[in-house]
Amino acid sequence: MKLHENIGERLREFIAAQHVFFVATAATEGHVNVSPKGMNGTFTVLDPLRVAYLDFHGSGAETIAHLRENGRITLMFCAFDGPPDIVRLHGIGRVIPLTDPTFAEMRATHFPAAPDTHAARSIIDVSVHRVSDSCGYAVPLMSYEADRDLLLRWGARKDADGLAAYRRLKNAESIDGLPALD
């Protein structure tokens, strides 16, 4: 393992080339959560110690609840093709819900290559305090075919009121009862 002062150009290029990444958070007491994330154009390096990604509606809101409680987050990128490498970004995250006045501007400014993201519910903004990479010798080689469009199609079938109702039903709290989305 090698520690880095920040997300330099080599790591930035590596991160940009990955089609999937993993987000880990944990309640202070309770469950640890790991979520796969993807879709081209939905992750960005804002500066050498700050990253962000679009967070989409889903059946749970563990990451949001954990960040609201304690802020701790780790993002992991694995090379599934090319030279083996694993990059981890440890930091403190904050949730910018789509109801926040800065959401629309940040989405337009930092995610111009993202697909139509009607199904996005927040932006996760991470201040990174530890950057490391290590060998990915045990990570399998896999081929990328395409992004799935199921979530985008699901979101397109719902209007703003329908998405708000879904958040109230499915995203109000974590599996440990922590508050997530209002």
Q: What is the mean pLDDT of the chain?
A: 95
Identify the pLDDT of residue 32.
97
Full-model pTM: 0.95
Whether residue 182 lies inside any domain: the answer is no
Whether residue 175 lies inside any domain: the answer is no
Whether residue 15 lies inside any domain: the answer is yes
Whether residue 93 lies inside any domain: the answer is yes
Whether residue 35 lies inside any domain: the answer is yes
Whether residue 181 lies inside any domain: the answer is no
Q: How many other CB atoms are there within 10 angstroms of residue 95's CB atom?
A: 21
Distance CA 162, CA 157 (A): 9
What domain range is 23 assigned to?
2-137+146-170
Q: What residues contact 26, with CB distance under 8 A and at least 6 apart?
A: 32, 33, 66, 70, 72
Residue 119: which pLDDT band, with cuts at 50, 70 and 90? confident
Residue 116: which pLDDT band, with cuts at 50, 70 and 90? confident
Q: Residue 126 is part of a domain; what is its CATH number? A: 2.30.110.10
Whether residue 88 lies inside any domain: the answer is yes
Given a contact cutoff of 8 angstroms between Cβ atoms, the answer to whether 130 and 90 are in contact is yes
Q: How many other CB atoms are there within 10 angstroms of residue 110's CB atom?
A: 19
Residue with the two structure tokens 């944990």: 26
Q: DSSP letter at 104?
A: H
Given a contact cutoff of 8 angstroms between Cβ atoms, the answer to whether 57 and 163 are in contact is yes
Predicted confidence (pLDDT) at residue 117 exceeds the cutoff of 80: no
Share of the chain above pLDDT 70, in %: 99
Whether residue 72 lies inside any domain: the answer is yes
For range 73-94, the mean pLDDT? 97
Give residue-wise pLDDT tens across range 122-177: 999 999 999 999 999 999 999 999 999 999 899 999 999 999 999 999 999 999 99
Among the listed residues 20, 17, 70, the one whose alpha carbon sits nearest the alpha carbon of residue 176: 70
Given a contact cutoff of 8 angstroms between Cβ atoms, the answer to whether 44 and 51 are in contact is yes
Identify the pLDDT of residue 182.
81
For range 23-45, the mean pLDDT? 96
What's the number of domains the chain is made of?
A: 1
Give residue-wise pLDDT tens across range 5-19: 999 999 999 999 999
Predicted confidence (pLDDT) at residue 4 exceeds the cutoff of 90: yes
Burial class (CB in 10 A: 0-12, 13-18, 19+), 55: buried
Identify the pLDDT of residue 115.
84
Residue 40: which pLDDT band, with cuts at 50, 70 and 90? very high
